[in-house]
Amino acid sequence: MMAPTPSPWLQGFRPVSAPRRTLVCFPYAGAGAAVFRDWASDVRPDTELLAVRLPGRENRIGEPPLNRVEDAVPALLGALDPLEDRPLILFGHSLGAALAYATARALVERGRPPALLAVSGRRAPHRTSRRPPVDGLDDATFRARLAALGGTPPEVLACDDLMELMLPMLRADFAMSDAFLEPDPPPLPVPALAFAGAEDTEVMVEEVAGWERLAGAGFTLRTLPGGHFFLHEQRASIVSCLTEVAFRDERKAQ
C-alpha cells in the first residue's frame, strides 16, 4: 500500500500512522521522486519518507520545468506546511542539495528551522563550479556531458525519441543548478551533515566540506566510496548516518 500523496510536490512510498519525524528527499538533476523509492525500506518505522517531485517529470511531465531554485521554494514551503507538527530532516543530492538548502533557509526565515540539513555531492553555495555552464551547449554536446556524469542510463541516452522528450527538463535542471550561487551566505542555525564521494570528480571532497561555513549549529562531514552518484550504492550508509545524527541532535534538544 502506498501512502497518499500530500501534494503534487511530494511523494510518499509507505504509510506511517504516527510519524515522529519526516525525512524529505530532494533529487538530483533529471531525476524524480522515484529515485528515493527504495529508501523507504531503510528508514525507521517511525520516520515518514517524502520525496520531492519537481515539474516536468513523472506524473508532472506536462508541466513546464523550472529554471531557478528560488522559483521552487514557495511551492515547496506550501507542500511542507501540513507537516509543521513534527521535525523535518532535509536531504538533497547534487541539485537536490541546493534545493534542500534554499528550503531550509526559507523555513528558518519563517521561524520553523528544520531539525537537520543534509547535503550530498554538492559544492557549498558560496563556491563556484569548476565546470562551464551547460547553457548554450548543442544537444550532442549536452548529451555527451550527461554521459560523462554517469547518472543517465546509456539506453536512455541512446534513444533519440526519449531524449527529445527529456531534454527540456534536463536543460532546465542543469540551468537551475548552474545558476545557484550565494557569494556570502550567513550561517544557518541548523545542524548540517554533508556527504562526499571519495572518487567524485564532479564535486571534490573539499568543495563539499565548504558547507561547514554555513553550519551554525554543528557540522559533520562523511566521505563515502564512489563517484558522483555514490548515493545509490551507499544508500544504507547514508540513511544510517542520517538517523544517527538526527537522533543525536534530538537527544541534545530534550
The domain segmentation of the chain, as residue ranges, is 10-253
Say how many CA atoms lie within 13 Å of 240 toward its Cβ. 6
Strand partners, 240: none
Question: Which of 100, 77, 105 has its CA nearest to residue 185?
Answer: 105
Looking up cell 547518472, which residue turns up? 151
Alpha-carbon distance 232 to 226, whole Å? 9
**Fold assignment, 10-253:** Rossmann fold (3.40.50)
Catalytic residue among 17, 120, 228, 232: 228
Catalytic residue among 93, 94, 120, 177: 94
Task: Specify whether 93 is catalytic.
Answer: no
CA angle 107, 183, 78 (to 5 degrees): 20
In Å, how far from its chain's centre is CA 82?
20
Task: Specify whether 240 is catalytic.
Answer: no
pLDDT in tens, the chain (254 residues): 344 446 899 999 988 888 888 999 999 998 999 999 999 889 988 899 999 999 999 999 999 999 999 999 999 999 999 887 889 999 999 999 999 999 999 999 999 999 999 999 999 999 988 777 778 788 888 888 888 777 677 787 778 788 888 888 988 999 999 999 998 889 999 999 999 999 998 899 999 999 999 998 999 999 999 999 999 999 999 999 998 887 776 666 55
0.95 cut: is pTM over it?
no
